[in-house]
Amino acid sequence: MPNSEMYDKVRQGNGFIAALDQSGGSTPGALKAFGYTGDEWANDDEMFALVHQMRVRIITSPAFTGAKVLGAILFEMTMDGAADGRPVPEALWARGVVPFLKVDKGLEDEADGAKLMKPNPGLGALLERAVAKGVFGTKMRSVIDRANRAGIAAIVEQQFAVASQIIAAGLMPIVEPEVSIKSADRAQSDEILLAELLRALDALPEDRQVMLKLSLPVKPNLFKPLVDHPRVLKVVALSGGFSRDEACAELAKNDGVIASFSRALLEGLRHDMSDAEFNATLGRSIDRIYEASVEKADA
C-alpha cells in the first residue's frame, strides 16, 4: 500500500504537483529554455548532469515546499540522485513534497490517432527500486492525436493494465492519456476519453484507486465526473504547450482539478540567475499555479 501520510497529503492538501521528469527526448529543449545554448554538453551523461543540477536547484529553493507544492514527478536518474545531502525522494518528503516517478519508456508510432506506450520489460524492477527509495507513486504518458475511439480505447486499456501492476507493487499510479492541444478535433477526443476513463474506473475493484493526469479540456468542467469518482484520488492537469498564463486561466475553470505543470512551472527560470533572482522567479511561478489550482473561477 502507498505511504498513508503521503496519501493523506495528496488527498487533503492544497497545492499542485510539479512535473520535473523531462526524459531523453525532452531534456535538450528543457535545458535551452533554462538558458543553455546546447554547446555546454558533449554527450548524454553531461546533458543529464546539467538537467539534474537544474532540478536540484528547483527542489532545494526556499520557494519549493509542501506549503504549495503537493508533489513532484521525477525522472529515474533524478530519483537515484541526491539533494540536500540525501536521496532526492527523501529530500522532497523532508520538505513536505510527495515524490512520484516517471516510469514509461516513451511512445510507439501513431496508430488509430494514438501513441501507445512502448513495452517496458524492466518495469517490475524499477517499481521495486522506487518503493525502496520511498517513492509514493508513478506517472506514465500516452498521447491522443485524433478523436479515434479505437485508438483512445487502446490507450486507456493499456494504461489501466499497467496501473494494476503498479498498484500491486504498492504504488499510486498517475494515468496520463494526454490529448494534444494541437489536435483539430480535440473537443471530441475529450468526450471519448471521458467515456473510456469512466468505463475503466467503474471496472476497478473497490479497494483500488488511481490518479489521472489530463490535458485541460476544451469544455470547462468536462472532467468533473472523474474528479468525483470514488476510484480517483486526484485529477491533475498538464500544461501541454500552453504558456503559464494560458494554462492557469484554463485550469481555474475546472473545479477540483490541480496543476501538474512542467514547462509552465519552469517558464522564466535561467541557470545564470542569482539565487535571489532565481528563488523570486520560481516563487512567483509557484504562487500563480497554486492560485489556479485552489481558487477557481466562477462558472
Domains (range + CATH), the chain: 4-294 (3.20.20.70)
One-character DSSP codes across the chain: ---HHHHHHHHH--SEEEEE---TTTHHHHHHHTT--S-S-SSHHHHHHHHHHHHHHHHTSTT-STTTEEEEEE-HHHHTSEETTEEHHHHHHHTT-EEEEE----BPPPBTTEEPBPP-TTHHHHHHHHHHTT--EEEEEEEE-S--HHHHHHHHHHHHHHHHHHHHTT-EEEEEEEEPTT-TTHHHHHHHHHHHHHHHHHTS-TT--EEEEEEPPSSTTTTHHHHT-TTEEEEEEE-TT--HHHHHHHHTTSTTEEE--SHHHHTT--TTS-HHHHHHHHHHHHHHHHHHHHSPPP-
pLDDT in tens, 51-75: 888 899 999 999 999 999 999 999 9
pLDDT at 158 over 60: yes
- What pLDDT score was predicted for residue 175? 98
Q: Which residues lie closer than 8 Å to 118 by C-beta, 6 or more apart?
A: 104, 105, 106, 107, 108
- What pLDDT score was predicted for residue 265? 92
Half-sphere exposure at residue 293, Cβ-oriented, CA atoms within 13 angstroms = 27
Catalytic residue among 176, 178, 196, 250: 176
pLDDT in tens, 33-55: 888 888 888 888 888 888 888 89
Written as one letter, the residue type at 116 is L
Catalytic residue among 139, 213, 234, 250: 213
Half-sphere exposure at residue 272, Cβ-oriented, CA atoms within 13 angstroms = 5
Whether the CB-CB separation of 241 and 181 falls below 8 Å is answered with yes
Q: Which three cell numbers stand for residue 18?
A: 510539479
Calculate mean pLDDT across residues 81-105: 95
Q: What's the predicted TM-score (pTM) here?
A: 0.95
pLDDT band at 23 (very low <50, low <70, confident <90, very high): low
pLDDT in tens, 239-267: 988 999 999 999 999 999 999 998 899 89
pLDDT at 24 over 70: no
277 is catalytic: no
- What pLDDT score was predicted for residue 47? 85
- What pLDDT score was predicted for residue 298? 66
Higher-confidence residue: 28 or 92?
92
3-state secondary structure 140-189: EEEEECCCCHHHHHHHHHHHHHHHHHHHHCCCEEEEEEEECCCCCCHHHH
pLDDT at 104 over 70: yes
176 is catalytic: yes
pLDDT band at 205 (very low <50, low <70, confident <90, very high): very high
